[in-house]
Structure 1
Amino acid sequence: MATQVDFKVSTGLFIDAIHWDKDVPGYSAKSNAPKEVKQEFNRQVDELLKLVNENIQEGFTKEWLARLINEYFHPDNKQQEEEKEKPAKVWGTSFFERTEQYLEEAKGGTSHKGAIMAIFRRLERYEAWQREIMGNSSFELRTETFGRKLLLDFMKYIEHEYTYYTKYPDFYSRFKIYRQTMRPSSKNSACSGGTRLKAFLNWCVKKGYADDLTFQEVNTHRHVYGDAYYLLPEERDRLIDATYGCSFHAPLVRDMFLFQCFVGCRMGDLFTIQRTQINNGWLEYIPGKNLKNGNTELVRLPLHPVAQQILERYAEYSPRLFPAISESQYNEYIKMILDFAGVHRKVTVLNPLTRKEEQRPICDIATSHTARKTFIANLYNKVKDQELVASLTGHSPNSRAFARYRTIDDNIKSELINNLK
């Protein structure tokens, strides 16, 4: 459309006058600037001109033009403005409508939302259980009246739900709960469920949806963990030369497990890290669990010679570190490779259901996470510096969870006392 108005608005694009060709408009074909720079600049100018010509109207202003250009370069800002302009969503007042609102409005990483959704699904089963199995036909969860007694009862339900399932499988089949998906829950699971539910209830208090504050009296931080168990250096090294006949998966799992023992990454990261993340003998990655929770801090560590030798054997599978294998298969084979290598030392573990100590051969209970604990514990025994070890594992320097990965053994205690001399 023809117009006599001449507005000047900054786009943020920059080009030296010696490269400018008004007939393009953009970089001239004779410019010696890098090809990709010229292409990207000219593309943006062309798109901007088309955008203006498609949207321009009689009587447009300089402010309108500036906003249009800003929306082109910052589309997220436009989306946020549109969200603000939308009328506020009207939420229902039932308990489970409040849970939907919480999931949409509350902050938290993907892992937290997944865990709280599991609690909300369990609450749905709990409500139906009270009505149909316990005979409380008028029972209804309400945020206004969810207090101490109800929270404690729900936590007890979490502990016993598997037993209930075995007695009433038809009831639970309505919720698509079957034998392959239902597992016994420990007291730790009940405490975790209570903690997540309290977070939701505290949110309800802030929103003015809850009147009964007695739920805050419930102590949900009663988790109990046994001492950390891990492979000793000599047990770990016994795997290096272990042989497994003509099996393909056993040597592969041995190498993957050993790699973890010398790197300390989680299984999820082991399966996703690519060889392009290894430069000059250093591995660089952002732990997937941290990334889900908004932590983008990079973990950077030098590869141990054993880890480097292992990777060389699987170079043909690049960009992956190793051939594909399922997580369940990996964990099952770990037990086998330790058993065949003669790693049978008995360790004391805490039964999560009974909370009583038991003696078990380490080969029977080892998982991929045992490799991570082996890396952490053996390093900590050498340096006695949590912050230093945490820099190689992705833990925060003052992580409380770190204590579950190492033990203060007799050697550390002896060295400590010797310092008194």
Structure 2
Amino acid sequence: MIIKRNIIFSLEKRKKNDLQILENLPIRVRIIYAGERLDMSTGYRVDLNKWDEDKQRVKPSTTNKLKQSASEINASLIKMESVIQDIFKIYEVKEEIPSLSVLKGEINAKIKIQTPIVENKTTKINFFETFNQFLRECAKEDNWAPATIKKYTTLRNNLEKFDKRISLDSFDHKKLDKYLDYLVTKHKYKNTTLEKHLKFLKRFLKWGVGKKYITNDAYKDFFPKIKKVRKKVIFLTKSDIDKIKNFQIPDEKQYLERVRDVLIFSCFSGLRYSDLYALSWDDMKSSSLEFVTEKTDDKIIVELNDHTRAIIEKYRYIRFPKNKVLPVISNQKYNDYLKELGELVGFNDSIKEVFFRGNERIEIVKSLYSHFSSHIGRRSFICNGLYMGIPVHIMMKWTGHSDYDSMRPYIDTVDSMRSKAMETFNKM
């Protein structure tokens, strides 16, 4: 049995009158194992500028207020670490994990002669409080979009429903397998969604290991075989777009006209819904759109064409809230109206969707219009652009895709279209 643990020596940070104390700070030892944390004082103190945080030792050729030398203090710290390691090795042989109180008692008994222990502090590290810390820190440091925060909040909620008593070091391969099974059986997640949740969980565990809150790094070599079928890229061809543009919208459904305009603008600009919604007149240049994307904070320049110019001109003298260029409604309402528009125009062809849920293969047949969503305009822009021969690297500059792999589904779709188009020559 191996008990994974971290033994960390550090200075105890203290403040007085809201100012950090820089002198005579206690050196403490923190022991993290099996989701537990034990903080103990070593009995030594040293000034902040005499402590090497990377090496976790007192800097050579220095002394503390009691004239104790660096070599004397460091020798005691090394001996203390050795004693702690020996205690864990004994429990590994016994195949037991010591409780916090037992570990504290044995450390006190073994090092009492060499170093007086002035204080002991035991803390049970709460999994969900730690996850909240991860969420706060990463959201701030990486400037997460609200959608990303929502995804990790969903992960946290799922983990709490899965096991309220879960500990930070719980996730060995067996526990990870159980969690994935739970997501399939209780939440009916598709395998593609399952893979995303595992990716999010691994990121949290990696963060925890880096912070030394987690000693179990079994997640690193956990790569379950998740059955997947590459999702079909559904987009609007040139003839589809023309069909939508030329359709006469009934008088009682004139609210769909603006929805159509936003869709057409997206089909010829490649903008995500979030960027369509945020697009303002400040982003407008004489021949291009220049803006910072809402999702990735990338600066994007998208040149205008006749189609996007026409829609801009249509709304030039209409003022929308926050100086917006386009009449973009909420995402949910926009998706609902897109489906309504698609059904009205007559996109009723059946499309089979194949996916896996665990090991179960599932096939669902839906009408084309039911697949209409705010992303269909962006997909249409990419596929039509590639089909017309626009180089991939130029398309990526317009769309903000950062790597070639993210474009591969579109490239494969277009290659398939070209192969079918070539077959028409067989009829000549």
Same fold per superposition (TM over 0.5): yes
**1:153-188 deviations in whole A, cap 9, x for unaligned?**
1122122223xxxxxxxxxxxxxxxxxxxxx53222
Residue 287 of structure 2 corresponds to residue 281 of structure 1: yes
- Partner Cα separation in structure 2 for residue 200 and residue 240 of structure 1: 46
Q: Is the 8 A contact 2:279 2:326 kept in 1?
A: no
Partner of 2:161: 125
Partner AA of 1:303 in structure 2: L
Comparing 350-359 with 370-379, greater Cα deviation is found at: 350-359
Residue 378, structure 1, aligned to residue 384, structure 2: yes
What CA deviation, in whole Å up to 9, does each residue of 1:266-315 have, x standing for no partner? 11111110123121131112221112xxxx3x211222212221222222
Q: Distance in 2 between matches of 1:188 and 1:108?
A: 25
Post-superposition Cα deviations, 1:231-259, rounded to whole Å, max 9, x if no partner, equal 11101111112111212311111111111
Distance 1:371 1:352 in 2: 27
Q: Distance in 1 between matches of 2:344 and 2:137?
A: 52
Please say if 1:215 is aligned against 2:219. Answer: yes
Which residue number corresponds to residue 310 of structure 2? 309
Aligned to 1:145: 170
Q: CA deviation at 1:94?
A: 2.1
1:154 alignment partner in structure 2: 179
Change (3 A) 1:101 1:326: closer
Change (3 A) 1:381 1:324: closer
In structure 2, how many angstroms separate the alpha carbons of the residues matched to 1:352 and 1:314? Answer: 45
- 1:409-420 aligned at under 5 Å gives the runs 409-413=415-419
Residues 411 and 150 of structure 1: CA distance in aligned 2, closer, same or farther (over 3 Å): closer
User: What are the Cα deviations for residues 43-89 of structure 1, in whole angstroms up to 9, with x where unaligned?
Assistant: xxxxxxxxxxxxxxxxxxxxxxxxxxxxxxxxxxxxxxx9988999x
Q: Is the 8 A contact 2:259 2:328 kept in 1?
A: no
Structure 1 CA distance for aligned equivalents of residues 19 and 285 of structure 2: 43
Match of 1:230 in 2: 235
Shift of the 159–316 alpha-carbon distance from structure 1 to 2, 3 Å rule, reads: farther
After superposition, the C-alpha distances for 1:384-406 in whole angstroms (9 at most, x for unaligned) are: 6321111111111x242222344
1:194 maps to: 198
How far apart, in 2, do the equivalents of 1:385 and 1:357 lie?
35
Structure-1 separation of matches of 2:366 and 2:260: 21
Contact 1:253-1:334 at 8 Å conserved across structures: yes
- Equivalent position SS for 1:284: strand
Distance change in 2, residues 1:267/1:99 (3 Å): same
For structure 1, which runs of at least 5 residues remain unmatched after alignment? 1-81, 129-139, 163-183
RMSD of aligned Cα (Å): 3.1
CA contact (8 A) 2:289 2:301 kept: yes
Q: Tell me, in whole angstroms, the C-alpha distance in 2 between the residues paired with 1:95 and 1:84.
A: 29
Unaligned runs of at least 5 residues, structure 2: 1-17, 29-38, 40-122, 424-428
- Between the aligned residues of both structures, percent identity stands at 21
Under a length normalisation based on structure 1, what TM-score does the superposition of the two structures give? Answer: 0.63
* Residue-pair matches, total: 297
> SS of the residue aligned with 1:288?
coil
Gap change, CA 1:191 and 1:209, over 3 Å in 2: same
Q: Deviations over 1:99-141 (max 9, x none)?
A: 233234445441444422321222111114xxxxxxxxxxx31
* Aligned partner of 1:361 among 348, 360, 367: 367
- TM-score when scaled to structure 2? 0.62
Residue 122 of structure 1 aligns with an amino acid whose one-letter code is N
CA distance in 2, matches of 1:85, 1:148: 44
CA distance in 1 between counterparts of 2:159 and 2:222 reads: 18
> Structure 2: which amino acid aligns with 1:308?
R
Is 1:339 matched with 2:343?
yes
Pair 411,199 (structure 1): closer, same or farther in 2 beyond 3 Å: closer
Moved more, 240-249 or 230-239: 240-249
**Higher share of residues assigned strand:** 2
Compared CA separation, residues 399 and 115, structure 1 to 2 (3 A): farther
Query: Structure 1: how far apart are the matches of 2:225 and 2:318?
Result: 45
Go from structure 1 to structure 2 and tell me whether the alpha carbon gap of 1:144 and 1:390 turns closer, same or farther (over 3 Å shift).
Answer: same
Q: What SS does the aligned partner of 2:246 have?
A: coil
Q: Give the Cα separation in 2 of the matches to 1:399 and 1:92.
A: 45
For 2:53, the equivalent position in structure 1 comes to: none
Tell me the amino acid that sits aligned with residue 218 of structure 2: T
Report the alpha carbon displacement of residue 359 of structure 1 after superposing the two structures with TM: 4.3
